[in-house]
Structure 1
Amino acid sequence: MLAMNDLWTSILLGIVEGLTEFLPISSTGHLLIAEHWLGSRSETFNIFIQLGAVLAVTLLYWRKIVGLVVGIQKPENLDYSLKLAVAFFLTSIFGLAAKKAGWKLPDQLAPVLLAVFVGAFWIFLAERRFRFLEPTARIGWMTACAVGIAQVLAGVFPGLSRSGATILTALLFGVNRPAATEFAFLLGIPTMFAASLFSFAQETHFFHTLPSDSWSSLAVGFVVSGVTGFAAVRWLLSYVQSHTFIPFAWYRIGLGAALVGLLSLPWKS
């Protein structure tokens, strides 16, 4: 049985992950704030709640995914799929290079704080440039490559936000908000599944050791993250039809201010 304290911690962290993973506000920054009071959880738990969030997006886009696979012979579907593949390939190659170089996610607030503020500036920059461009729903090859590299930057600088970095990069190339969001989310599905499964295999020594968390705790975090992630993504897809990302920039500035305050407080582990 799952202890009440662990149950509420799993629920709260699942909610935080689900709400923030696909919004351009930095899930890493929010999880660090939550863990400051709730205590840090294992890497396996973080992997499970991330998988819950990405499963939610997969369910939302299952028709689009099936349509791309079944209709791959259509030129427009083949073109779109190839651009997703190229973006994923660039993310994988540069991401593995970063891993080989010994890079790993920091567990301190300071580097995340910097990335949170940089992300706010990126939103202002992208939205300002977008006003002077002719919006298009078409994803170009340069856009696809840039979005793939942006995913790597978001991984190297946690707090930047993977979804934010990819969506805003597409905006910089003139892709309208709905099309940029869709491409970023579809790219995020294989990227996050691959990264999560790779991390889980490493964490469990390729499945030879059991996770340190109870299976109940992992299941609760997974389900809660999936449910809240589903709701958050559905809301965002509706929001971007007629709104800019500027409010998220101001939110990030507020989040950064909160992180500044946490830097002066003792860390709970």
Structure 2
Amino acid sequence: MNDYAISILLGIVEGLTEFLPVSSTAHLRLCKAPLGLDLHDPYWKMYDVVIQFGAVLAVVVYFRKRIADFLRSFPRGRDGSTNLLTHPLSMVLIASVVTAIPAYLLDKKIGENLENLRVIGGALLVGGILMWVIDRMFTRPVVNRLEDISYPQAIFIGAAQILAAAFPGTSRSMSTIAAGQISRLSRPAALEFSFFLSIPIMFAAFAYKLIQAVRGKGSGDQVLTMDAHRWGVLAVGFVVSFFVAWAVIAWFMAWVKRRGFVPFAIYRIILGIVVLAVAWKGA
């Protein structure tokens, strides 16, 4: 399979899984080995970051009117009920800061876990069980709008993201949605906050990882070299990821309003068992 075909495939995988609670990181890692890609190659490490950035831009485009409304109404809100510290944008920032520092400090450990199939399989399995239990238990939300999220809820949801960063396979989407439900957010509100929270986190991760890849940091001190072919492969993955993620976001928002997260939990449990079986067999 040539690099452009690989890029299309990985772009589709990223777009499909970035915002579904099934872990895009795990799926990209699981797809790369059969494709014969070097997991330590700084180019393919940067590739992951770039296509994730494409998926996050889809959030910005999909919620462009909502984001514009928040920016126009900052800090008092549409009805004057918020201030600089309680506006939804402030809540997103608070949750992001709670995540950012621990994630930065855990960067080396995150890289090690990304290559450990037992960690990925275990995180998929345990996360699936937790998601199933939480979706069944927390069925009486008290918060139905982003505008009503409180400090403790934002901090708790932000802290939950640390698990996703430390243990690939957990899923950033799963951890924030589940934390939102535990915090008594409705499914749509938890999902929407998860989408908004992805924007600053992924923008920061994109900048940080891109600098690392270009400078060779964390990649055996290999300095990344680029040519027209590599830029083309990167562009294809970025564009495919963007459009697939856009479609997934629209579908997922409609799905959650009518159904819960149990089907995704079941998928995670099955995939986790398969990954663990492969990992133990290859040990």
Relative to the length of structure 1, the TM-score reads 0.90
Distance 1:211 1:103, change over 3 A: farther
Q: Distance in 2 between matches of 1:194 and 1:240?
A: 28
- Structure 2 CA distance for partners of 1:113 and 1:209, relative to 1, 3 Å: closer
Q: Aligned match of 2:134 in 112, 119, 126?
A: 126
Q: Give the Cα separation in 1 of the matches to 2:82 and 2:13.
A: 34
> How far is 1:77 from its partner?
5.8
Q: 116, 126, 142: which is aligned to 2:124?
A: 116
2:98 is aligned to 90
Quote how far apart the aligned CAs of 1:26 are.
1.1
Worse overlay, 71-80 or 58-67: 71-80
Distance of aligned partners of 1:211 and 1:201 in 2 relative to their CA distance in 1, 3 Å threshold? farther
RMSD across aligned positions (CA): 2.2
Q: Does 1:66 align with 2:68?
A: yes
2:48 counterpart letter in structure 1: N
* 1:37 alignment partner in structure 2: 34
Superposed CA deviations along residues 125-155 of structure 1, whole A, max 9, x for unmatched, are 2113213x34421322111001111111100
Percent identity over the alignment is 36
Deviation at 1:176, TM superposition (A): 0.2
Which whole-Å deviations, capped at 9, do the CAs of 1:194-239 have from their partners, x for residues lacking one?
1111110111029985448700110011011111111111110111
- 1 CA distance for matches of 2:54 and 2:37? 19
The amino acid of 1:104's aligned partner reads I
In 2, distance between residues paired with 1:81 and 1:222? 27
Kept after mapping to 1: 8 A contact 2:138/2:184: yes
Aligned length: 261
Letter in 2 for 1:194: A
2:184 is the alignment partner of 1:174: yes
The one-letter amino acid of 2:137's match is R
The Cα of 1:266 is off from its aligned counterpart by: 6.7
Match of 1:148 among 131, 135, 158: 158
Are 1:204 and 1:211, in contact at CA under 8 Å, matched by a contact in 2? Answer: no
Q: Which has the higher contact order (CA 8 A, sep 6+)?
A: 1
Q: TM-score normalised to the size of structure 2?
A: 0.86
Name 2:243's counterpart in structure 1.
227
Q: Supply the distance in 2 between the matched residues of 1:8 and 1:254 (Cα, whole angstroms).
A: 28
Aligned partner letter, 1:61: F
> 2:51 aligned to 44, 49, 52, which one?
49
Q: Does 1:16 align with 2:22?
A: no
The Cα shift of 1:31 comes to 1.3
**CA apart distance, 1:6:** 0.8
Gap regions ≥5 residues in structure 2: 39-43, 218-222
TM-fit CA distance, 1:11: 0.5
2:110: which partner in 1? 104
Distance 1:40 1:149 in 2: 33
- Which secondary structure state, in structure 1, belongs to the residue aligned with residue 2 of structure 2? helix
**Alpha carbons 1:112, 1:159 under 8 Å: kept:** yes
User: What does the per-residue CA deviation read over 1:136-183, in whole Å, with 9 as the maximum and x for residues that have no partner?
Assistant: 213221110011111111000110000110011000111001111111
Instruction: Determine if contact 2:14/2:55 at 8 Å carries over to the other structure.
Output: yes
Is the 8 Å Cα contact of residues 110 and 167 (structure 2) preserved in structure 1?
no
Tell whether the 8 Å contact from 1:120 to 1:253 is kept in structure 2 after alignment.
yes
Q: Which runs of 5+ in 1 are unaligned?
A: none
Kindly indicate whether residue 271 of structure 2 is the aligned counterpart of residue 252 of structure 1. Answer: no
Amino acid at match of 2:143: T
Distance (Å, rounded) in 2 between the aligned partners of 1:193 and 1:257 = 32
* Partner of residue 258, structure 2: 242
Query: Which residue matches 2:220?
Result: none
For 2:161 and 2:237, the matched residues in 1 are separated by: 24
